[in-house]
Amino acid sequence: MTGAPFSPRRRRAIASTILVASCVGLGALALTGANESVTFYLTPTEAIDAGRLDREVRVGGFVVEGSLDEGDSRSSLVLSDGESDMRVVYPGRLPDVIQEGQGAVVVGSWGADDVFLGTEIVMRHSNEYRAPEPGS
């Protein structure tokens, strides 16, 4: 038993519904994928203003000159965004790439005495490539 073919109006309605549903689905996938691939971080000012959050956060800034204090079991540094400074304590030695005056992103959470306890340090770098100087 074959049914009557859909009218042109009904076919357009079905096609429009499928098109809208597809666009919504693709848009949702794009937004979800974009959020997962972009790593956001707070500046020290934003982290201080936000106060104690009950979760790990990323804080990015520049390592203040003279603030690196390294030990075998515990190290510390101060991150700044030019407006606020934030003391960070890190278990163990700091990665070799961390230098004063350079950018860094620290993953961690607030501890006692308003100290940020870092669990991971990531080097923040420019997206600009500079060729090495000749002879270096």
Q: Which helix (H) or strand (E) holds 79?
A: strand 74-80
Question: How far apart (Å, rounded) are the C-alpha atoms in residues 81 and 63?
Answer: 9
Question: How far apart (Å, rounded) are the C-alpha atoms in residues 76 and 112?
Answer: 15
Question: How far apart (Å, rounded) are the C-alpha atoms in residues 63 and 48?
Answer: 16
Q: Is 125 annotated as a binding residue?
A: yes
Cβ neighbours of residue 132 closer than 8 Å, sequence gap 6 or more: none
Q: Is 129 annotated as a binding residue?
A: yes
Query: Annotated binding site for heme, which residues?
Result: 125, 129
Binding-site residue positions: 125, 129
